[in-house]
């Protein structure tokens, strides 16, 4: 895979965390001011963010972790009587240092970093929203029909695969590929994922938790001075609803729309993406 070479170069370092979060596996790379990456999904792996760690690691110490119940941290207990999202936010409270740090959130992760900053603004120096889902979730209303429909390139399901782990993996990879405008690149990227990289039950649960207590326009407005900017892709399946929503909430200078990418700009148009990302992280 094209991105496998980048990932192989990453040096993953164990990060020290508080006793309450000591069981959470956190990966850090680089030296310098702290940047924490919160991935999408929700309930999706973060290993695919390693190229961002490598790129930013020349100036920053960049950390990421799979949320409780997912990937590296799939074995950690989730309380059944407490919202999963509140437990994720509690883990963020424990994992992040007390001093203000930069939070980068991609897709769903943009909502998660905004939620954390809403409750702990003193812990955040600035926020960067990458291909963000809008707080009102308007960008999700027609997402199924907006996905890129890429026919299978190599692997096709057989009748005996129906209802088996083979079908489950195929569906996951098909979904990942559908977020890319380019079919070849999408399927190549998707081939790196396994069934362990996502948790569908938890995904539904977290979306439900968010809908119970969503971010309001006022919430985002109070965080506007901490939001360095938002990066979008013109061909993202979240568009145009996401951009339209954030344009109401943030000043015009904070919006950066890239061409030549859909939902994973660090893979599809890395030069343009990192040029803006470095500027947004370093502002303020």
Across 78-117, b (16+ Cβ under 10 Å) vs e yields eeeeebbbebbbebbeebbeeebbbbbbbbbbbbbbbbbb
pLDDT score, position 268: 98
pLDDT score, position 149: 83
pLDDT score, position 144: 87
pLDDT score, position 2: 43
Q: Taking the CA atoms of the chain, what radius of gyration do you get in angstroms?
A: 18
Domain boundaries, the chain: 4-146+198-282
Encode the chain (284 residues) as per-residue pLDDT tens digits: 444 443 333 333 334 344 345 689 999 999 999 999 999 999 999 999 999 999 999 999 999 999 999 999 999 999 989 999 999 999 999 999 999 999 999 999 999 999 999 999 999 999 999 999 999 999 999 898 888 887 766 666 565 655 666 666 878 888 989 999 999 999 899 888 998 999 999 999 999 999 999 999 999 999 999 999 999 999 999 999 999 999 999 999 999 999 999 999 999 999 999 999 999 999 54
Report the CATH architecture of 4-146+198-282: 3-Layer(aba) Sandwich (3.40)
pLDDT score, position 154: 61
Tokens of 189: 């990227």
């Amino acid at each position: 895979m094209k991105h496998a070479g980048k990932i192989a170069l990453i040096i993953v370092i164990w990060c020290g965390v508080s006793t309450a979060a000591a069981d959470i596996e956190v990966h850090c790379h680089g030296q310098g001011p702290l940047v924490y990456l919160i991935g999408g999904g929700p309930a999706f792996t973060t290993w695919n963010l390693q190229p961002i760690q490598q790129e930013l690691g020349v100036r920053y110490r960049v950390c990421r972790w799979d949320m409780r119940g997912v990937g590296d941290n799939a074995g950690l207990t989730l309380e059944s009587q407490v919202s999963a999202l509140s437990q994720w936010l509690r883990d963020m409270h424990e994992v992040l240092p007390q001093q203000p740090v930069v939070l980068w959130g991609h897709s769903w992760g943009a909502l998660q970093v905004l939620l954390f900053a809403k409750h702990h603004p003193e812990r955040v120096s600035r926020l960067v929203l990458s291909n963000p889902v809008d707080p009102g979730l308007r960008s999700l209303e027609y997402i199924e029909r907006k996905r890129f429909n890429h026919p299978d390139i190599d692997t096709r399901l057989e009748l005996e695969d129906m209802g088996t782990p083979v079908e489950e993996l195929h569906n996951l990879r098909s979904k990942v590929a559908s977020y890319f405008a380019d079919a070849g690149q999408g399927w190549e990227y998707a081939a790196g994922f396994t069934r362990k990289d996502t948790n569908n039950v938890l995904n539904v649960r977290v979306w439900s938790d968010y809908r119970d207590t969503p971010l309001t326009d006022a919430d985002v407005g109070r965080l506007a001075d901490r939001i360095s900017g938002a990066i979008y892709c013109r061909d993202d399946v979240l568009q145009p609803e996401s951009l339209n929503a954030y344009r109401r909430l943030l000043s015009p200078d904070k919006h950066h729309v890239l061409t030549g990418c859909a939902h994973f700009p660090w893979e599809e148009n890395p030069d343009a993406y990192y040029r803006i990302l470095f500027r947004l992280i370093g502002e303020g």
